[in-house]
A and B are shown apart, each in its own frame.
Chain A
């Protein structure tokens, strides 16, 4: 063979390798154009294909629970935007009931705190709580690690993700974080309108959007539809006397305050509120319009002309709901990439 043929062969191989790498190219974390910079610390936990896939496998693996029956995915179901559709509170291990509505897992890379009371300030520390909670997964992290070490596949998967087969708290948490930060919901009609991708609001949706900005946007800040703050929205004390943010800060001004939840994907996430007390959006809108309870820490934004309640008429409520329905992201709840492997 002469030199030219050799060169040609090398070039072919090179191009072949290139093509292959393009086919397998992993799309890591990408900020949607209409979203702000994320809050998560990617510099200490960059998302890789191997880490993401390991996190996904762990997320759906009941090995994380005491008796290997409950996975993260048990109460965070993709078709329900990673909440527990139809459950006011979730049933965890041995069918034990919690006291709060399972929050939707979406856009957590922008989350500054986690849980309804914001008690956890770093996503990497979040999974410890449900794994060890006695009504959720009731397992010790040391046991989880021992089980993963004994498994035929996990040491190898950890080695691929982190460079060695060692399994420790940090790697377990960081793999789960890599999966969770990738759960981005940013392809609703609202997003398409905002990004100028050709979608157009109907007149009801547009009017609803204007009403939303006037009455709701103060707390449900666009584009994530939460300002991450803690507020008393006047729903009154629930059946478990859950004191919310107060239990974290012991500050009287935080009693009965809860995290402002995102309003994305409401079609999939009913029931609503921290204890899942409202079954329908109509019920929620009626609450904000006429049923606000004037509790000690009631949010001032819910007081109009000295009276609690937004006093929205039926037509206004309907239009706001029409707008809220533009926040549903079907691609997010059906994306195979986020499904159990």
Chain B
């Protein structure tokens, strides 16, 4: 190899490293990250009131209401370090009938994030805080009924609909709450979701652009995520111990589809 070629190679390497350097995250800068909760049912997009879907037991169902809390978001980098979104900025109420509510928008330091964690519901600490700490979607009296006013606590997940399999009025209602109790222990139906982003695309958060982690949320998994049950047998889970079974199924609804960087 002659000197020129060596020089050229060195220059190329330098340039490559340069351009790489340019894309290195600056961890002191923060940028926008959104997590999109795209509700589906099996192989179909979810449409309230009109779509007919099938669960693992083959029962058909229609969804009339779908709302759930997402909170306590944290992200892990490839080196294992974790960024936790400040808690007060980390509460979202996803509502299928309010299109813009499908994005949980947070600010995070620039970085390459390889996995995502959040809880479905509202943590027990916030559930017992002074009412001055419960604004916006956490307002216990103005959150579209996602609160049990007679048994203080948020409803974490609410899905209602109709199914010919449901006995009587052909309706099913799943209201999943219970944060563990204030003075006496109750069920704790808070569930944590971990999502690996390395297959569908890591989130490269940089200033001047918004990364969007696009999640698919398959409501048919409510009936079969971990435990399979039939609407015919359990058309209602609101204020009973069966809610724990439904809560166990909730994390299975969430899967990473892709990331837009």
List A residues at the B interface (Cβ < 8 Å).
Answer: 41, 44, 112-113, 115, 117-122, 124-125, 128-129, 131-133, 141-142, 145, 168-170, 173-174, 245, 247-251, 254
How far is A19 from B150 in the complex, measured between Cα atoms in Å? 47
- Whether B151 pairs with A120 at a CB distance below 8 angstroms is yes
If A121-B152, A128-B140 touch, whether A249 touches B185 (CB-CB below 8 Å) is yes
Write out, one digit per residue, whether chain B residues 127-144 have a CB within 8 A of any chain A CB (1) or not (0). Answer: 010111011000111100
Interface residues of B in 229-261 (CB under 8 A from A): 239-241
- Whether A112 pairs with B131 at a CB distance below 8 angstroms is no
Chain B residues near A113 (CB-CB < 8 A):
182-183
If A120-B151, A141-B142 touch, whether A254 touches B184 (CB-CB below 8 Å) is yes
- Whether A250 pairs with B187 at a CB distance below 8 angstroms is yes
Counting CB contacts under 8 A, is B186 at the interface?
A: yes
How far is A173 from B133 in the complex, measured between Cα atoms in Å? 13
Q: Which of A124, A131, A250 meets B131, CB within 8 Å?
A: A124
If A128-B149, A132-B141, A247-B151 touch, whether A121 touches B182 (CB-CB below 8 Å) is yes
Q: Which 4 A-B pairs have the closest CB atoms?
A: A141-B141, A119-B151, A121-B182, A128-B149
**Smallest CB–CB gap between B128 and chain A, Å?**
7
Interface residues of B in 114-131 (CB under 8 A from A): 128, 130-131
Listed by A's residue number, 24 A-B pairs whose Cβ atoms lie within 8 Å are A113-B183, A118-B183, A119-B148, A120-B151, A121-B128, A121-B152, A121-B183, A122-B128, A122-B131, A129-B149, A131-B141, A132-B141, A133-B150, A141-B141, A168-B135, A168-B139, A169-B131, A169-B141, A169-B142, A173-B131, A248-B151, A250-B239, A250-B240, A251-B184
Q: Which of B140, B181, B184 meets A169, CB within 8 Å?
A: B140
Residue of B nearest to A245 (CB): B184
**Smallest CB–CB gap between B71 and chain A, Å?**
19
- Whether A120 pairs with B183 at a CB distance below 8 angstroms is no
Write out, one digit per residue, whether chain B residues 174-212 have a CB within 8 A of any chain A CB (1) or not (0). Answer: 000000011111110000000000000000000000000
**Dominant secondary structure of chain B at its interface with chain A:** loop
- Whether B151 pairs with A169 at a CB distance below 8 angstroms is no
Chain B residues near A141 (CB-CB < 8 A):
141-142
Chain A residues near B152 (CB-CB < 8 A):
119-122, 125
Chain A residues near B181 (CB-CB < 8 A):
249
List B residues at the A interface (Cβ < 8 Å).
Answer: 128, 130-132, 134-135, 139-142, 147-152, 181-187, 239-241
**Smallest CB–CB gap between B88 and chain A, Å?**
15
- Whether A249 pairs with B130 at a CB distance below 8 angstroms is no
- Whether A250 pairs with B151 at a CB distance below 8 angstroms is no
Chain B residues near A174 (CB-CB < 8 A):
131
Chain A residues near B241 (CB-CB < 8 A):
250
Chain B residues near A121 (CB-CB < 8 A):
128, 152, 182-183
Chain B residues near A251 (CB-CB < 8 A):
184-186
Apart from A129-B150, A145-B142, 18 more pairs, CB < 8 Å: A120-B149, A120-B152, A121-B128, A121-B182, A121-B183, A125-B140, A128-B140, A128-B141, A131-B141, A133-B150, A168-B139, A169-B141, A174-B131, A249-B185, A250-B187, A250-B239, A251-B185, A251-B186
- Whether B186 pairs with A248 at a CB distance below 8 angstroms is yes
How far is A117 from B134 in the complex, measured between Cα atoms in Å? 24
**Smallest CB–CB gap between A265 and chain B, Å?**
25
How far is A122 from B131 in the complex, measured between Cα atoms in Å? 9
Chain A residues near B128 (CB-CB < 8 A):
121-122
- Whether A119 pairs with B150 at a CB distance below 8 angstroms is yes
Chain B residues near A117 (CB-CB < 8 A):
151
How far is A234 from B92 in the complex, measured between Cα atoms in Å? 45
Chain B residues near A44 (CB-CB < 8 A):
130, 132
How far is A189 from B241 in the complex, measured between Cα atoms in Å? 48
How far is A249 from B141 in the complex, measured between Cα atoms in Å? 22
- Whether A170 pairs with B151 at a CB distance below 8 angstroms is no
Residue of A nearest to B132 (CB): A170
Chain A residues near B151 (CB-CB < 8 A):
117, 119-120, 247-248
How far is A249 from B149 in the complex, measured between Cα atoms in Å? 15
Chain A residues near B147 (CB-CB < 8 A):
128
How far is A124 from B129 in the complex, measured between Cα atoms in Å? 11
How far is A173 from B141 in the complex, measured between Cα atoms in Å? 10
- Whether A247 pairs with B142 at a CB distance below 8 angstroms is no
- Whether A120 pairs with B150 at a CB distance below 8 angstroms is yes
Chain A residues near B187 (CB-CB < 8 A):
250
How far is A124 from B128 in the complex, measured between Cα atoms in Å? 11
How far is A114 from B148 in the complex, measured between Cα atoms in Å? 14
- Whether B184 pairs with A115 at a CB distance below 8 angstroms is no
Q: Which of A125, A142, A145, A168 meets B149, CB within 8 Å?
A: A125
How far is A122 from B141 in the complex, measured between Cα atoms in Å? 14
If A132-B141, A169-B139, A169-B142 touch, whether A125 touches B131 (CB-CB below 8 Å) is yes
How far is A115 from B241 in the complex, measured between Cα atoms in Å? 22
Chain A residues near B140 (CB-CB < 8 A):
125, 128, 169
If A125-B149, A141-B141 touch, whether A247 touches B239 (CB-CB below 8 Å) is yes
How far is A245 from B150 in the complex, measured between Cα atoms in Å? 12
- Whether A249 pairs with B186 at a CB distance below 8 angstroms is yes
Q: Which of B150, B183, B240 meets A112, CB within 8 Å?
A: B183
Chain B residues near A118 (CB-CB < 8 A):
183
Which of A169, A174, A254 is the most central at the interface, judged by chain B CB atoms within 10 Å of its CB?
Answer: A169
How far is A72 from B9 in the complex, measured between Cα atoms in Å? 83
How far is A119 from B151 in the complex, measured between Cα atoms in Å? 4
How far is A118 from B153 in the complex, measured between Cα atoms in Å? 13
Chain B residues near A115 (CB-CB < 8 A):
150
**Smallest CB–CB gap between B125 and chain A, Å?**
14
